[in-house]
């Protein structure tokens, strides 16, 4: 037996701390670009406000941006790693599967910091322009959840109500970004060609729909459209995760008078949002853990050969 004194492996907390630092460092470039864009957008909003335009309201649940950033974030987190090859990350003395999850967690920490920064920035912008910060505001409600055809809606049918967003909706950007990030991370560490999947799956659904329409097979066409509707606008669909359904409930209609107005088919429901969030993040975590098995520390596939 060897007389060498064996070296310990690093503590997982140290690896996580270091990965947070590494991911943050690697994101400096995109962060500068995002900051410049944010500054430009804010300058335009302030300029509009100064020249008589409306203030910028602070309604975190209305922005899909954190969710979109959450979907794209894993690309930035994993861009320097050969996920399925031999990269520096895998040479280090940490269990490969655990290390992949540590890196995902580190990316999440950076994502949350990014979302927080964005929210604080938007809050500042709302304060500067005197916008509404999660306060009451009047919204037009449609009498039924079905959006009427353009130009047929009687303005008298609209009901104006005071809507006071629940304070818990401040959490929406964080949960939206988290859910999207977890799902996208699962794809990033679970498949060799994530872009092919990201494009291929929607294309396949579209193809099914087109084939259904062309061949006049209603079942096929309906299957595709209902699947999309269920995943996107369903009670617990992606929109519920990303904006507490603020996106799908809010729509523009053309009144009988010819005027286009923004109306709500209903108001965001905290319970639905909470369930959708739990479902999506829970499912995302399950898929992430399953996907991480693609990165497991290699195991010997068969028994040793006898001499």
Q: What is the DSSP letter of 141?
A: E
Total of residues contacting other proteins (CB under 8 A):
40
- Structure-token pair, residue 161: 């109500």
Q: How many helices (H) and strands (E) does the chain have?
A: 11, 4
**Contact string (CB under 8 A) for other proteins, positions 263-302, x = contact:** ----------------------------------xxxxxx
172 near other proteins, rule: CB under 8 A = no
Q: How far is the CB of 25 from other proteins (least distance, A)?
A: 7
13 near other proteins, rule: CB under 8 A = no
Q: How far is the CB of 36 from other proteins (least distance, A)?
A: 19
Q: What is the DSSP letter of 153?
A: B
Smaller CB distance to other proteins: residue 48 or 95?
Answer: 95
90 near other proteins, rule: CB under 8 A = yes
Among the listed ranges 23-31, 131-139, 192-200, 253-261, the one in contact with other proteins (CB under 8 A) is: 23-31
Q: Which of residues 55-84 bind other proteins (CB under 8 A)?
A: 80
Residues 75 and 68: beta-carbon distance below 8 Å: no
152 near other proteins, rule: CB under 8 A = no
Out of 48, 57, 95, 269, point to the residue binding other proteins (CB under 8 A): 95
Out of 88, 149, 156, 258, point to the residue binding other proteins (CB under 8 A): 88
Out of 33, 50, 86, 156, point to the residue binding other proteins (CB under 8 A): 86
DSSP 32-97: HHHHHHHHHHHHHHHHHHHTT-PPPPB-GGG--HHHHHHHHHHHHHHTTS-TTS--HHHHSSS-HH
- Structure-token pair, residue 218: 């209603």
Among the listed ranges 5-13, 154-162, 174-182, 188-196, the one in contact with other proteins (CB under 8 A) is: 5-13
92 near other proteins, rule: CB under 8 A = yes
Residue 9 φ then ψ, to 5°: -90, 160
Among the listed ranges 3-11, 54-62, 179-187, 230-238, the one in contact with other proteins (CB under 8 A) is: 3-11
Q: How far is the CB of 90 from other proteins (least distance, A)?
A: 6
- Structure-token pair, residue 273: 């949002």
- Structure-token pair, residue 203: 């294309």
Q: How far is the CB of 26 from other proteins (least distance, A)?
A: 6
Of 129, 105, 186, 147, give the one whose Cα is nearest residue 264: 147
Task: Show Cβ contacts of residue 232 under 8 Å, excluding neighbours closer than 6 positions.
Answer: 238, 239, 248
Out of 37, 91, 178, 186, point to the residue binding other proteins (CB under 8 A): 91
Q: Cα 220–221–222 angle (5° rounding)?
A: 90
Q: What is the dihedral of CA 166, 168, 171, 172, to 10 degrees?
A: -40
168 near other proteins, rule: CB under 8 A = no
Of 92, 78, 70, 71, give the one whose Cα is nearest residue 26: 78
200 near other proteins, rule: CB under 8 A = no
Q: How far is the CB of 14 from other proteins (least distance, A)?
A: 6
User: Which positions lie near other proteins, rule CB under 8 A?
Assistant: 1-10, 14-15, 17-18, 21-22, 25-26, 29, 80, 86-88, 90-96, 297-302, 304-307
């Amino acid at each position: 037996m060897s007389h060498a004194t064996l070296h310990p492996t690093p503590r997982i907390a140290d690896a996580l701390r270091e990965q947070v630092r590494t991911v943050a460092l690697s994101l400096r470039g995109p962060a500068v670009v995002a900051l410049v864009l944010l500054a430009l957008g804010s300058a335009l909003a302030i300029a509009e406000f100064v020249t008589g335009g409306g203030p910028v309201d602070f309604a975190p649940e209305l922005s899909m941006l954190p969710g979109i950033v959450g979907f794209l974030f894993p690309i930035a987190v994993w861009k320097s790693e050969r996920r399925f090859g031999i990269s520096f990350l895998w040479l280090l003395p940490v269990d490969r599967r655990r290390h992949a999850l540590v890196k995902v967690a580190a990316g999440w920490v950076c994502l949350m910091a990014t979302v927080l920064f964005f929210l604080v920035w938007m809050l500042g912008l709302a304060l500067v322009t005197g916008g509404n910060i999660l306060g009451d505001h009047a919204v037009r409600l449609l009498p039924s959840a079905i959006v009427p055809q353009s130009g047929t809606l009687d303005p008298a049918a609209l009901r104006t109500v005071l809507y006071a967003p629940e304070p818990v909706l401040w959490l929406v950007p964080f949960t939206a970004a988290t859910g999207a990030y977890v799902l996208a991370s699962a794809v990033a560490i679970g498949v060799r060609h994530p872009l092919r999947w990201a494009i291929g799956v929607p294309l396949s659904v579209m193809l099914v729909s087109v084939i259904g329409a062309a061949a006049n097979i209603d079942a096929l066409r309906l299957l595709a459209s209902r699947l999309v509707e269920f995943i996107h606008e369903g009670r617990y669909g992606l929109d519920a995760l990303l904006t507490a359904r603020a996106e799908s409930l809010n729509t523009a209609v053309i009144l009988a008078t010819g005027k286009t107005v923004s109306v709500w088919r209903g108001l965001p429901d905290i319970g639905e949002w909470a369930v959708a969030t739990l479902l999506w993040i829970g499912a995302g975590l399950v898929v992430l853990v399953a996907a991480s098995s693609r990165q497991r520390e290699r195991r010997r596939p068969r028994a040793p050969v006898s001499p």
